[in-house]
Amino acid sequence: MSRKTYQTKHETTNKLKNHGFTLIEVIIVIIISAVLAAMLIPYMMTTTNSAKPITMLSDSFKNKSVMENIIADYESSDKDKEALIALKLAIGPEQKLGEPTYQTNGYGNYIVLTNHFIKFVPNGSQYNEQPAPSENPEDPETEEILKVTIKNSRERITRLFYNMVPKEE
């Protein structure tokens, strides 16, 4: 064997025996990891808010389901003044002085903001909403439009229910 071949084989075996990392390689890996972590941490923090739109959509769906249940209840009735009064009682009392009235019943879970009879008064070319003077069903002055506003978290839904039976004269 020539001396040159022997040295090459000797150098190759020395390189194979040396399996560790140098200090500079370890430092470079740590620096790259720190830079990547610094870039990913703000991204990871913002992903915790990604559930917010899904939660809002879910709340909106629940709110609309409650209103659909209320509408279905009224649509299945006689749609007269007595049905309006029964619906008003079934929905629950409205909010007083900023205190929400939480309701949990056959319609679902919701907050009642408005649940009263109203009338529309002409004002020039427009109509203004006013509370009805009386909510007594025997009183002929009782208006036949029920305004219902419900809320679930952030979204509000308002619906007007009215007597669909013509007045007897």
Task: Give tens-digit pLDDT for 106-130.
Answer: 888 888 988 888 888 888 888 888 8
pLDDT tens-place string over residues 24-71:
999 999 999 999 999 888 877 766 666 777 888 888 888 899 999 999
Examine the pLDDT at 131 and tell me if it is beyond 90: no
Write a three-state SS string for the chain.
Answer: CCHHHHHHHHHHHHHHHCCCCCHHHHHHHHHHHHHHHHHHHHHHHHHHHHHHHHHHHHHHHHHHHHHHHHHHHHHCCCCCHHHHHHHHHHHCCCCECCECEEEEECCEEEEEEEEEEEEEEEECCEEEEEECCCCCCCCCCCCCEEEEEEEECCEEEEEEEECCCCCCC
The reported pTM is: 0.64
